[in-house]
A and B are shown apart, each in its own frame.
Chain A
């Protein structure tokens, strides 16, 4: 459990779930994913990296059970199935209810489970504190900045103490400095809890900085072209961004991404 915090370099994590040749064709005929196979290990931080339209969001929605695959299976291991319910989703936009305060937004998942306000309050406040917003409980979304809204949305995902956290480009709309800070906060959370994270991003640097494994996807139709382990130990300080090993990995990924895309791009 607590191994999630340790640099799990060699020891392969027990799988939490496997996507087995999963395909998704939308009713309008768009084939978003074609026979995608992917295993997510317990306690892993997996990034899905790829160009726009390669089916990253679709893959995440499939894992969440928000949509059903057209073909193939999503297999949960037994422990994973039990924990299936403890799954949270963070969208690209903060997706807050504008009529509710930060507190009420974060409390929403608990309320839906029938928890009373007094009972939920400590957990809500703790989640808000965890994302660095201890003083914004009473604020409405329109009174918060983009980065703060994103934090509220992450607090809402954390309040249910998920074992699996699915994040769809959560920081894409933020400036670089805020993104770096939220990257750090996220890693801290990841290390302080027994969590598995699947993280969708466009950014090579972000994927390497955050994850223990990067899965590179290519579009039309969406598929996995390579998966690259990131053998960098946690915790990962900000200085890592100028580290030689880190930059080598980024270059390596960049090449993988380009070779995956090139033949189709110049057709």
Chain B
């Protein structure tokens, strides 16, 4: 790919997007498509503004659940990974359950959880379950991937196992952990949304996905689109923040965070 000048790199995608929206708008207007089939971008924009009090409240609910799920997944994933790093036996006994949680579709677990707990708790548990595995598995890999010779050096210099963990293995695992966290952040949102939709028919949730289900019942298609846009923006924001954190922590030393090589 030839290099774009700095201005073009921002301008070109923006122009393309504007053209796309314009085409969408024209299509809806010229073909006179009714809004309950396909709302025009301007209508969606208007809905976003008019329904903002409702939608913003729902957004906050979903975001809080997502972040809570991610925080729990972080604590649980890293904690378990540290345990695995200390003992192969513990890993051998517990890892299958982590895999089971991972491979079982969350959409199938959610209805079951709804029987036992409130819908809020179900949503939180689902967000946690899906975010948990990438963090656990990446951190475990990272803790294992420590340079053999560095480990030997630490042994030679009489490091305690605690020092090895803190000064060596946890640092070496950091890029892996951060990659897992980035995946987990996106998944946590998906888990929360899936669970909200599953709980939606039960009618207790207050998150964005619940608003989507509700709008669908009422054939309020523009609001469905507006909520969808907010979900996408939330997902992008979570990813951007986590990528930013990762970049800040790694930029001095890790290849993944370095600027592209000079020509």
A: residues with CB less than 8 A from B are: 61, 64-66, 85, 87-89, 91, 93, 95, 97-100, 108-109, 111-113, 140-142, 160
Contact = CB atoms under 8 A, between A and B. Distances in A.
A109 B159 CA distance: 9
B168 A89 contact: no
Interface residues of B, number: 22
Interface string B140-156: 00000001011011111
A120 to B, nearest CB: 13
Contact of B157 (A91, A93, A99, A113): A113
Interface string B213-232: 00000000000000000000
B201 interface: no
A97 B157 contact: no
Contact of B156 (A64, A97, A111): A64
B260 interface: no
A113 B158 contact: yes
A140 B158 contact: no
B153 to A, nearest CB: 7
A112 B253 contact: no
B253 A99 contact: yes
Nearest to A160: B157
A95 B167 contact: no
Most buried by A among B156, B167, B172: B156
Q: Tell me if B's interface is mostly helix, strand, loop or mixed.
A: helix
Interface of B: 147, 149-150, 152-159, 163, 167-168, 171-172, 174, 252-255, 258
19 contacts: A61-B152, A66-B156, A89-B153, A91-B149, A95-B147, A97-B168, A97-B171, A99-B171, A99-B172, A99-B174, A99-B253, A108-B157, A109-B157, A112-B157, A140-B253, A141-B253, A142-B253, A142-B255, A160-B157
Given A111-B167, A142-B253, A95 B158 contact: no
Contact of A89 (B156, B254, B258): B156
A100 to B, nearest CB: 8
A66 B152 contact: yes
A160 B153 CA distance: 13
Contact of B149 (A95, A112, A142): A95
Contacts of A89: 152-153, 156
Contacts of B155: 66
